[in-house]
Structures are given as structure tokens and as C-alpha cells.
Amino acid sequence: MKEWQKLLWILAIFLGAYYIPWESVIIRQSGLEAFMMLQEYAREHVLTCLIPAFFIAGAIAVFVSQAAVLKYFGAKANKFLSYSVASVSGSVLAVCSCTVLPLFAGIYTRGAGIGPATAFLYSGPAINVLAIILTAKVLGWKLGLARAIGAIIFAIIAGLLMAYIFRKDDANREAGEIFLPEEEKSRPLWQNGVYMLTMVLILIFASFAKPSGSDSQLWQAIYSVKWYLTAALLIVLAVMLKAWFVKQELKDWVKSSWDFALQILPLLLAGVLVAGFLLGRPGHPALIPEQYIQALVGGNSFFANFFASIVGALMYFATLTEVPILQGLIGSGMGQGPALALLLAGPALSLPNMITIASVMGVKKTAVYCIIVVILSTIAGMFYGLLVS
């Protein structure tokens, strides 16, 4: 952090301490809600969900070759493969909305078609593995699953529409190949697969929530032995790390996981505090009255979904901060459809993001891409709202 940024933070904290009217009952209630929400995240999500997810993201960054993914976007690549890889690349590359922009600029300017390039541009931040995991854990598995499926489908549809609309421009572009180094294979693919699967299972069992009384005996049985299963998987993981990995690889993995934690945790916890202060926890009102939220994004009307899509497209969400914000909004009366609409439009777009994209592929293509994302998010929100109502 630069010195002037430190000064701004110190100044902001001082002004807050000086001017926030803590004598107001609603301000005190909002401040309490902010820290209660932070405590809830610390107790229920950080240790059992986020920390395993950081290690998974770190492993993806270190052991999955980006070159192996990006080479499928070249001008001569098979179209089915291009769109298939582009639509799931976010879960493989584990990038955020800021990290994906230079990758998009690189593949587009070096010859990738507008279709696969924009599919990759959307997929990168939208299917971020950490975001999907936290969405399912905090907001429910239905919304998490809908976000993952919707993002993959959106990436393909947006790419195909962009390719069709700008087919003449694409044909006139100089077709080039994306030259990337071949991936280095230090161990068989199946070993990396088993290693990743073990960590995913650790995440699943460690964060397995207590079933309700109406749930099946199977879920009850799994919950009763979740920590035994987690401990057994940790032992299996330790054996694999000792047998299959060299010391430098383990150092790189830990460093990559730590970098993710440093990048994301401070922003997430700050986002939790802000969301708690403004919106409160479900059933606990805070600064913004619930009736305002219900009027704008309550229910499942076209306006509610469209408004949520527009707000999501314009706002900048630091990685994962959309989850606590939505938790507060849903608790204050936001409909499930608009919630999904915001999740699908928000992480992939923002005003700074749009400006950067326009500098790469032009204002016209950027405007069309943003309109496609907003329209698709609105439709998906309305459909999901009808499905779960």
C-alpha cells in the first residue's frame, strides 16, 4: 500500500470516529449488526469454508497450467472446444474481475475470436471457485448451483451472440495464433486429480451444515461423522503431499494460497462490516429500512430483476464481497430472482471494468456485451424466481 493510500485510510477512520453520531439508536444498532455479522462469518464460514477454499484456489493457480487453457482460443482451434473451455475457465483459472482483463486483452489482441474471448471474459470472474463455494455456503446451495450453471450458460450464449453480431468484423481481423509455452507435467494427471478431489471433499465435509429434523437419515449420519471423515481425508492428503510432491511445489502452493488470503480476506471482512452496518443480518434491521429494499428488489417482477441487473453491472464488487451484501439484502426482503440477477451481472461487470474492456475491443462491442449480460441476467432472475417460488 502506498503512503498516500495509508494517509487516506487514517483520515477516513478519523473522520468516521469524529462525525458518526453514535448517540443515535439506529446508528448504534447498525454498528452492533456490523460486528454481529462479522462474528457470524468468523464462526461459520472462515475456518471451515474459506481456508480450505483458499488452498484449493492456490492449488489450481500452481498446478493447473494457464497455457493449457488459453491455447484453445486460437484462430484455428475447434469452436466446440473453444467455447467449452472458455465457459468453465473461471473455475480453472480462479481469477477475479481485475485479473481477467489483461488475460482477455492478451488472447483477443493475439488472434482469439470475439466469441471465445468474450465467453472467457465473462466466465473468468463469474465462475470464480471461491465465489461459488461461499455463495452456496452462505446463501444456500440452490442459489450457489444456479449461479454456477447460469454463469456457464451465459458465457456460451454471450460468446455466440457476440460472434454472430460482429461476424464481419471478426472475419476482417488478422487471424493469429496464440503462442504459449507447453505445459510442464511433473506428475501423472490422475495424481493431480486425486489431490484436488481430496481437498474438495475436505471442504465439503468440514463445512457440512447440521441437517434439519425433516432431512433424511443419510444427511444426519454424514453430519454425525463429518469430523472423522475430515480427519481421515487430511491424513490421506498429508500422505499424498509427502509421496507425490517436491518441497518447492509445496512452498509455491502455500505461497499462492496465502496470496489469495491476503488479497481477499481483508476486503471480504470489510465488506461484511459495511453490509452488516447498512443492511443487518436476516431478521435484524439496520441503517437502510427494509421497506425501501422490498420496494425496489422485492418479489420477482421484471423491474426488480432488471434493476438488480443494472445495479450489479455498474457497481464494483471486490472479490466475494457480493455475498455478504446479498445476505443483507435478502434478509431485508430482496427476492431470490433479483438476487441471482445481481450475482450473474455483478462480478463480471463494473464501471471501471467496462472502461478497460472498451479500450481493448471498442465502445460498440463493449456496449453490446454489457447489454447482453444485463438482459440475460434479468431473464435468468425472473426464471429462477418463478422456479423457487
Q: Specify whether the backbone of 87 is left (phi greater than 0), alpha (psi in -120 to 50) or beta.
A: alpha
Residue with the larger pLDDT of the pair 24 and 207:
24
Q: Is residue 293 assigned to a domain?
A: yes
Domain count, the chain: 1
pLDDT in tens, 129-172: 777 877 888 888 888 889 888 888 988 999 899 988 988 776 66
State the average pLDDT over residues 354-383: 89
Tell me: the pLDDT tens digits for 79-135? 787 788 777 766 655 555 555 666 677 667 666 678 888 888 888 777 777 778 778
- Quick one: pLDDT at residue 341? 92
CA–CA separation, 374 vs 75, rounded Å? 28
* 104 in any annotated domain: yes
CA distance 304 to 389: 15
Three-class SS state of 212: coil
pLDDT tens digits, 271-327: 778 878 887 776 677 787 777 877 888 888 999 999 999 888 877 666 667 788 888
43 pLDDT tier (thresholds 50, 70, 90): confident
What pLDDT score was predicted for residue 134?
A: 79
- Residue 69 pLDDT exceeds 70: no
Distance CA 119, CA 115 (A): 6
Question: Is there a contact between 183 and 68 (Cβ–Cβ < 8 Å)?
Answer: yes
* Greater model confidence, 52 or 213: 52
Structural domain includes residue 357: yes
* Domain contains 160: yes
In a domain, 251, yes or no: no
pLDDT at 233: 92
pLDDT at position 180, please? 52
Q: How confident is the model at residue 371, as a pLDDT?
A: 94
Which position has the higher pLDDT, 215 or 380? 380
| Statement: residue 254 has pLDDT above 80 | yes
Residue 59 in domain: no
Residue range of the domain that includes 81: 28-39+64-183+282-388
Identify residue 251 by its one-letter amino acid code: K
Give percent of the chain above pLDDT 70: 82
Q: Considering the domain boundaries, does residue 366 fall inside one?
A: yes
Tell the residue number behind the cell numbers 482451434, with chain if given.
Answer: 77
Which residues have C-beta within 8 Å of that of residue 375, sequence separation ≥ 6?
Answer: 309
Instruction: Give a yes or no: residue 270 inside a domain.
Output: no
pLDDT in tens, 162-186: 988 988 776 665 444 555 555 556 6
